[in-house]
Amino acid sequence: MPFPISYKLLYKEVIKMSRDLKKESEWRKKKYKRYVVDVERKLAEEFSAKLEKDGKAYSSWAKENIKKYLKKF
Q: In a 10 Å sphere around its CB, with 0-12 CB exposed, 13-18 middle and 19+ buried, how is residue 39 labelled?
A: exposed
Please state the domain count of the chain.
1
Range of the domain at 64: 5-71
- Residue 11 reports pLDDT greater than 70: no
**What's the pLDDT band for 73 if we cut at 50, 70, 90?**
confident
pLDDT of residue 14: 59
Give residue-wise pLDDT tens across range 12-70. Answer: 555 666 889 999 999 999 999 999 999 999 999 999 999 999 999 999 999 999 999 99
pLDDT of residue 32: 95
- Residue 47 DSSP code: H
pLDDT of residue 22: 93
Task: Enter the pTM of the model.
Answer: 0.62
CA atoms within a 13 Å half-sphere pointing along the CA-CB vector of 37: 9
Q: 58: which residues sit within 8 A by CB, 6+ positions away? A: 48, 51
Query: Is the Cα torsion angle 67, 68, 71, 73 positive or negative in sign?
Result: negative
